[in-house]
Structure 1
Amino acid sequence: MKNILLTACIAALSLTACDSKSGAETTAATPAATTEATGCGEVAYVQVEAVLAQSDLFLTEGAALQAKTEKAQKSWAQKEQNLQYEAAQLQEKYQKGLITTNDAQAQQQSIEKRVAAYQSSAQKEAQTLDEENYVFNNRAQDLIHRAIRAINADGRYRLIVNASALLDADTTLNITPAVLAKVNELYAADKKAAEKK
């Protein structure tokens, strides 16, 4: 019953928002105006960044990946600071004559080896994180493209654009909520299918 009421409300909004269409065209378009999208006419726009930020994919996996990346960056910064501090302390000791040249060289070599090991480790970790981010972004883009194709399966829109490229547009052309709902639906279906494997 709620679905029928929601469909009727959306259809009524579509009729009032698209008053430039003739009566015959409006009645013909009403069945196509389902709960999937609220835009009217042949053009619509999507706030892709909003869909990405509010999607279940980001809220579950994306936020975790973002936190993992931030943690790694903080760890790298801390390790670099520690090694720089150690090198500065060694230089200070040597300049004050508190250690011999041989000891200073041995400690310098030890620090250089740890710097090289740290850099190699950090580089591998960064490559792994880059790959994880790349895969995540591709999954998100795939979900958005699939959602838009599903929403426009009936071909009601001739043009759907990313809102980031818009300078001005009527809000009745905004299909972001419908795209977000479809993205979440597709993500849930993909997740369920992956769990069955």
Structure 2
Amino acid sequence: MLSTDSPSPARPWFVNPDEAAYLPRHTPPHMPEKAAHRVPPLPASVPPEIRLLHAQLAQSPHLEPASLLVCPPVSHPPGPPLPEAMPKGRRKRGRTYAGEGFLEPGGIWSWIVLAQVKEGTENRGAIESIVRLVRKTLLTAQPPLPLPRNSRRHINDGWAMVDAGDFAVHVVSQEARQKFFGDRSSW
């Protein structure tokens, strides 16, 4: 039922004032100032290239702003050593002792960037688009970061990674994040 009284300036003439309270309110994806306060803050000791990348990713319409995380990697203690076995056969194969290894306490990277694309966009090229944005941002940084060649394979499992030397950027779908990363919002 339409209203016969004069419409308010914020509401069009065809909207019933009784139904206006039930209309869904969506934030358009092109409003970075609204999404910027939902992005988790960066740690204080983050390098400038990650700050630049974080600023670019926070403006992307393909990402969930609240799921953009920058954190140091979680260190896991090494597992138990393999039991020693003597070599077998004439060629002396099958020995499990490989010598003393080199173990880094923090892992390969100093930082990890985790970006989750919006649900429903992962099979529509959102992951590939974010990977292109990451590569473009890191290659145009001053000085540019040496990145490996761009992989032309298609993203089938909802997960892509860019190795940027000192840090890694993981671009994941919601399903892949829950499967591989679990609930790590408290990183």
Question: Is the TM value for this pair above 0.5?
Answer: no
Q: TM-score band (shorter)?
A: under 0.3
Q: Which has the higher contact order (CA 8 A, sep 6+)?
A: 1
Greater helix fraction, Structure 1 or Structure 2 = 1
Greater strand fraction, Structure 1 or Structure 2 = 2
> Which structure has the larger Rg?
1
